[in-house]
Amino acid sequence: MTRQKYSIFSLLRNAVSRNENWQQAWRSPAPRKKYDALIVGGGGHGLATAYYLAKEHGMRNVAVLEKGWIGGGNTGRNTTIVRSNYLWTEAALLYEKSLKLWEGLSRDLNYNVMFSQRGVYNLGHSLQDMRDIERRVGANRLDGIDAEVVTPEQIKAAIPMINTSPRVRYPILGASLQRRGGVARHDAVAWGFARAADALGVDIIQQCEVTGIYRDHGRVTGVETRRGRIEADRVGVVVAGHASVLAGMAGLRLPLESHPLQAYVSEPLKPVLDTVVMSGAVHGYISQSDKGELVIGAGIDAYNGYGQRGSFHTIEHAMQAIIELFPAFSRVRMLRQWGGIVDVSPDACPIIGKTPVQGLYFNCGWGTGGFKATPGSGWAFAHTIARDEPHDLNAPFSLERFTTGALIDEHGAAAVAH
Ligand code: FAD
Ligand code: PYC
């Protein structure tokens, strides 16, 4: 009772005080002249990197430099699907490391990231789709990752609203199901990592765009920012859709193309869909947020660019796909649309590791699928920066693979056309 009184009182007090009594979740320090390590990009991956640098490697003289506000990039723009059902062992193990971190993340950060393991269905609509699904499920199981092949009857029983009629353009012939997959609250992931990193001494510096990268005799020595020069012997760059721009500042070229990727939400509905459905062939994916909105997406816009918008025909295509799978949703009104910029690599896998410039590390090329990797990517990148060598989990994702030819083709499991 006392506790309840206290919380009602504090709610009232905060309501009339214009948030004056609220504690800041992280500090806003002025940048120091020099740090042991700088992380460029305050998205989930950058903040996770800083957190694990401090937590796992004892590096606390670290700053995250963000040009806008933390989580304002793809971290705050994505459809939050989390899964680890990739085809090749290298990719599957990296995403599985991440999924395991997701499973303990709210406790680890002492911040509710609302990770909900509601399952992810990847639908098959042709015999070839089903062969691919069976192969991928088999490969996942060999890697110790939960995966099942399910029939149209099982899908209908779990998702009554889905259209499993055989008399449609793309009949549903089955699906892979990863029950441990699901969704999380994207903003909370950025805020949770930011608060936890700050508590370990990391400086999070917003409105601090990096405009140049200083080098001396092949070594990185610091960066130029809108708030002045900052020195560091180690610089990790994690800027999602702008990796080529930052690489250019260090005289490097990356095998990446930047594209807009859109997402859409509907008006809120009562709970109708308690899992995640993806279809590579009809080409759309959908879940329902805790607020009730249908969260929808499809493939990238085909042109290159840095405008966070996207074109109308892509919207039309995404809606057609969802209505094909869920005809009843044709009566639902859409509320909002937005876009983010994704950096796509030739094998649909990320680049995480060292560069030809000593002390300069890049983590990029996650394309349409890096949200699920946020904790694992930060964990592996922190190891790479702290030890100046990749962890076994990210060693296969080096830049060199584009010259050695050891590509890891994940276009199929990426599941979002690009
Ligand atoms: P970001 O969150 O974009 O962070 C990079 C930060 O770098 C930004 O905040 C940016 O402002 C900053 N920055 C850029 N340039 C500079 C500079 N010069 N100086 C300082 N800072 C700079 N993935 C999934 O796994 N599941 C999904 O369901 C999913 N859906 C998606 C839907 C959409 C519409 C989009 C756009 C992406 C989706 N993704 C999904 C992909 C996922 O969002 C990204 O791969 C992931 O969030 C990348 O995280 P990040 O921290 O690297 O990037
Ligand atoms: O990688 O699972 C994914 C995904 C879903 C939507 C966008 N990306």
Instruction: Give the residue numbers spanning the domain of 308.
Output: 116-180+260-344
Q: Is 366 in the pocket of ligand 2 (CB under 6 A)?
A: no
Question: Does the pLDDT of residue 383 top 60, yes or no?
Answer: yes
Distance 342 CA to ligand 1 centre (A): 7
pLDDT exceeds cutoff 80 at 43: yes
Closest CA to 46 of 341, 306, 359, 373: 373
Is there a domain that residue 24 lies in? no
Distance from the alpha carbon of residue 197 to the mean position of ligand 1, in angstroms:
19
Please, are residues 276 and 81 in contact by the beta-carbon 8 Å criterion?
yes
Same domain, 366 and 245: yes
Together in a domain, 329 and 353: no
| For residues 4-23, average pLDDT | 74
298/397 same-domain check: no
Is the entire prediction scored with pTM above 0.85?
Answer: yes
**366 alpha carbon to ligand 1 midpoint, in Å?**
9
The response to whether residue 74 sits with its C-beta less than 6 Å from ligand 2 reads no
In a domain, 42, yes or no: yes
Please tell me whether residues 169 and 120 are part of one structural domain. yes
User: Do 164 and 302 fall within a single domain?
Assistant: yes
CA of 205 to the centre of ligand 1 (A): 17
Identify the pLDDT of residue 6.
Answer: 58
Q: pLDDT tens, 125-144? A: 999 999 999 999 999 999 99
CA angle 49-50-54, nearest 5°? 115
Q: Which residue has the higher pLDDT, 294 or 24?
A: 294
The ligand with the least distance to the CA atom of 236 is 1
The count of structural domains within the chain is 2
Note the pLDDT of residue 204.
98
Query: How far is the centre of ligand 2, averaged over its atoms, from the C-alpha of 56 (Å)?
Result: 28
Identify whether residues 357 and 405 lie together within a single domain.
yes
Q: What is the mean pLDDT of residues 184-208?
A: 98
Residue 91 is assigned to a structural domain of this protein: no
Residue 12 lies in a domain: no
Domain with 387 in it: what CATH number?
Answer: 3.50.50.60
Q: Which ligand is nearest to the CA of 298?
A: 2
Average pLDDT on 222-233 reads 98
367 CA distance to ligand 1 centroid (A)?
9
Ligand 2 atom at minimum distance from 371 CA:
1
Let me know whether 338 and 264 are in one domain. yes
218 with 336, same domain: the answer is: no
Choose the residue to mutate in 121, 239, 246 for probing ligand 1, maximizing ligand atoms within 8 Å of C-beta: 239
Ligand nearest to the CA of 79: 1
Distance in angstroms (rounded) separating the CA atoms of residues 388 and 318: 43
Whether the pLDDT of residue 3 is over 60: the answer is: no
Asked if residue 94 is part of any domain, the answer here is: no
Q: Average pLDDT, stretch 42-61?
A: 98
Q: Are residues 264 and 176 in the same domain?
A: yes
Domain boundary among 344, 361, 390: 344
Give the pLDDT band (50/70/90) at residue 5.
low
Is residue 182 in contact with ligand 2, taking CB distance under 6 Å?
Answer: no
Same-domain status, 175 and 264: yes
Ligand 1 nearest atom to the CA of residue 370, by list position: 45
Confidence band of 74 (pLDDT split at 50, 70, 90): very high
Q: Considering only CA atoms, which residue is closest to atom 3 of ligand 2?
A: 369
Q: What is the mean pLDDT of residues 270-290?
A: 96
Residue to probe by mutation, ligand 2, list 82, 372, 377, 410, most atoms within 8 Å of CB: 372
Residue 113 has phi, psi (to 5 degrees) of: -90, 5
CATH number at residue 264: 3.30.9.10
pLDDT attached to residue 2: 44
Domain stop point among 344, 371, 388: 344
User: Does 416 score more than 80 pLDDT?
Assistant: no
Last residue in a domain, options 344, 366, 397: 344
Could you tell me if residue 87 is inside a domain? no
Q: What per-residue confidence (pLDDT) applies to 1?
A: 39
Q: What is the Å distance from ligand 1's center to 418 Cα?
A: 16
Average pLDDT, rounded, for the chain: 95
Same domain for 388 and 353: yes
Position 131 in a domain: yes
* Residue 200 in domain: yes
239 C-alpha to ligand 1 centroid (Å): 7
Residue with tokens 């055989």: 166
Name all residues whose Cβ lies below 6 A of ligand 1.
40-46, 65-68, 72-75, 77-81, 209-210, 238-240, 242, 246, 261-263, 297, 340, 342, 366, 368-372
As a whole number, mean pLDDT of residues 257-269 equals 97
Same domain, residue pair 363 and 395 = yes
